[in-house]
Structure 1
């Protein structure tokens, strides 16, 4: 029923902004003026539904206790009659099971509820765990600080990502060992995926774009082998996206950051090497002043460019922001926090470019100074109070947690983080 509701609402929203060409120059939803002069004719820029239109749609479906949603109802199930001529219903050796009926809740194999595996016949190779990871490797990973943090996050029903930096291991020829450690962490309950690098192409780690592409390809292949079924993610900065249609800005940003090329970044998604791309917003407030592009305009430009490239057709796009935290604790007033939430959280989500927003809520720099969004030892403040109010988008909000530098302890920290965030990136080191 819920899937049906989401489908119906999504279809209605899509009719407002997808597939409707903005040919008319006087169309209030036309944003073609923000596209570069060399943009292909088939790329059309159009604003999505206005807040008023979105409210009308929500009201239509939710009024009278969701009368219209109930009327929509679920689709009729597809039923196959195995007794009809021509229909084949595999069982036993021909199917995925053993052909034996079981009651609801019964394990598929004996001792499966205790982590057991099917009994092996003599001379037969049995499936034990992903890619041959040993029980010792998994047990060792569970005992690490990151493993304990993962378990604490799972108890709070947070969606978990393992966060690591594998560029050093790759350059040192130690990628396989590093990947095994991450895979052993990733098999724990609640872990959705692994983010294996940050600021890719923006920092000075690599010298050429081909070197970056090789790193992504080889690391992705190794992780998919050792951690099958887990999502893979990278974080980067693509400064040229904030320029919009300003050619001088684009030329300078391309020259200044030659490895952060949109086409190459998009290829990681289209080739299936990653499943999530996180774009940082750290440069939006300062980098474009020369061209009189302020932070809101730079952010708008970035997300319009992302949407025009249809990256979300290949994977999930995330916005990443560290601007809510400050040394010691956030100093924002309630009004300032509300405005920051609108600019840095609402805008990426409302533009239908980013599906999630990752906020850095706490970190320690090399001098030992701690920056926080909340107060010390989880003392409340205006920023944290305002973030707690975002219950409707909580599943779309994520943060980064370093178990090597906890605020109190993993259990306490995760309990507090779960009041604001639905997802957490647990840092696991290199």
Structure 2
């Protein structure tokens, strides 16, 4: 009974929150006074039940030792008596009419593996991915396939990271999709990121061309790797402007393909399950308008929340700037401050569900940037990151098996101490 009472209280309190727009500050149900001063005008708050009404609801259900709750019985189930005249009941339902334990195979002998046979002996199973066993075996033997297995064995949630834009432009999308799907159907893989910096540096001529690529690549991947989540990485520079109209106008001209409504439609139409927004531009893009990185980041996540993108898919923050040439030379205190600003803040802003850090990458001059020490030498930044055990499932990184720091086993073991997820690059 106490559990039920707590449930009722929780139900009552859940009625307090964001609801239908309260257009007038005189509206007795308006709770706009609870919003911060920098909240955009189009974000409004309205009580679905005022605190007083919620208290009345709770009192109703808890009064007299919860008697009203005790008196609420489930509705009578709908029952059909097959023996009653005029009632017809199906007699050709699937199954053998016998009770089975949870986990038992549907067909006797299927626990031995392979493709089970139906009751009459005919083949009744087909792999929905249409990827052949030979393709799967070949994919498992590649560098990326080995990294996928190693990462999964280390307890990490694995994504395949690839770029299909060039394949699409050259008319080789189907061939490329089969290759990446063969890797994605390996045990432990949950999804595929099929494009990065889309609209920023993939050389699409028009926004319609970019939309067509996203739609066709998504459809091909869902057919070849059914059940796998699909992700893309991009940036919306205008988000960092906040309410500065001049900033938004200039950045929209500078990046005409990076339109927020168009990108949001990829999520709402079900073309993507995850969207990663880069933060690499935050430090310098807005200097003209005297908007610093912290303010730009705050502005960005306010805009994401206002569009409710997380109602359609997972939103990730991505940061390559956390790594430093060679390796970070920060003190423990400096590392903690940087982690707070670049890792904790996006999560606390309640817009990004995960944060992806680039832990190792190489620039055009061949210089290697790292978050950890060279050859995994200890440093303060990595030591501080290892303390974030409570948010480990929300932290992700990228790994290129063709460019290991030491070797796959060593690298992924160390990465798994900080990150719950990894994007394995597949050429």
- Secondary structure of 1:404 counterpart: coil
Contact 2:396 2:423 in 1 (8 A): yes
Count of residues in correspondence between the two structures = 387
Deviation at 1:133, TM superposition (A): 1.1
Which structure carries more relative contact order (alpha carbon 8 Å, separation 6+)?
Answer: 1
Deviation at 1:411, TM superposition (A): 1.7
What is the TM-score with the length of structure 2 in the denominator? 0.81
Deviation at 1:137, TM superposition (A): 0.4
**Alignment CA distance shift 1:410-1:85 (3 Å):** farther
Kindly report the root-mean-square deviation, in angstroms, between the aligned alpha carbons of the 2 structures.
Answer: 3.4
Q: Summarize the alignment of residues 26-65 of structure 1 with structure 2, pairs less than 5 Å apart.
A: 29-31=34-36, 33-35=38-40, 41=42, 43-44=43-44
What is the TM-score with the length of structure 1 in the denominator? 0.81
Deviation at 1:123, TM superposition (A): 10
Give me the whole-angstrom Cα distance separating, in 2, the residues matched to 1:248 and 1:317.
27
Match of 1:423 in 2: 421
Match of 2:163 in 1: 165
Contact 2:17 2:45 in 1 (8 A): no
Q: Summarize the alignment of residues 235-274 of structure 1 with structure 2, pairs less than 5 Å apart.
A: 235-274=233-272
Deviation at 1:136, TM superposition (A): 0.2
Cα distance per residue 1:193-235 (max 9 Å; x no partner): 1000000011142010000000000000000001111100000
**Alignment CA distance shift 1:136-1:339 (3 Å):** same
Q: Summarize the alignment of residues 305-344 of structure 1 with structure 2, pairs less than 5 Å apart.
A: 305-344=303-342
Q: Summarize the alignment of residues 40-189 of structure 1 with structure 2, pairs less than 5 Å apart.
A: 41=42, 43-44=43-44, 85=81, 94-95=93-94, 99-109=97-107, 112-113=110-111, 115-119=113-117, 126-189=124-187
Structure 1 residues 117-126 or 348-357, which shifts more? Answer: 117-126
- Secondary structure of 2:195 counterpart: coil
Deviation at 1:379, TM superposition (A): 1.4
Give me the whole-angstrom Cα distance separating, in 2, the residues matched to 1:240 and 1:219.
26
Asked if 1:393 is matched to 2:384, the reply is no
Contact 1:32 1:44 in 2 (8 A): no
Give me the whole-angstrom Cα distance separating, in 1, the residues matched to 2:384 and 2:262.
38
Q: Which protein is bigger by CA-based radius of gyration?
A: 2
Deviation at 1:290, TM superposition (A): 0.6
Give me the whole-angstrom Cα distance separating, in 1, the residues matched to 2:75 and 2:124.
34
Match of 1:370 in 2: 368
Contact 2:160 2:184 in 1 (8 A): yes
Deviation at 1:131, TM superposition (A): 2.8
Deviation at 1:406, TM superposition (A): 1.1
Contact 1:34 1:301 in 2 (8 A): no
Give me the whole-angstrom Cα distance separating, in 2, the residues matched to 1:402 and 1:8.
50
**Structure 1: stretches of 5+ with no match in the other structure:** 47-77
Match of 1:66 in 2: none
- Secondary structure of 1:196 counterpart: strand
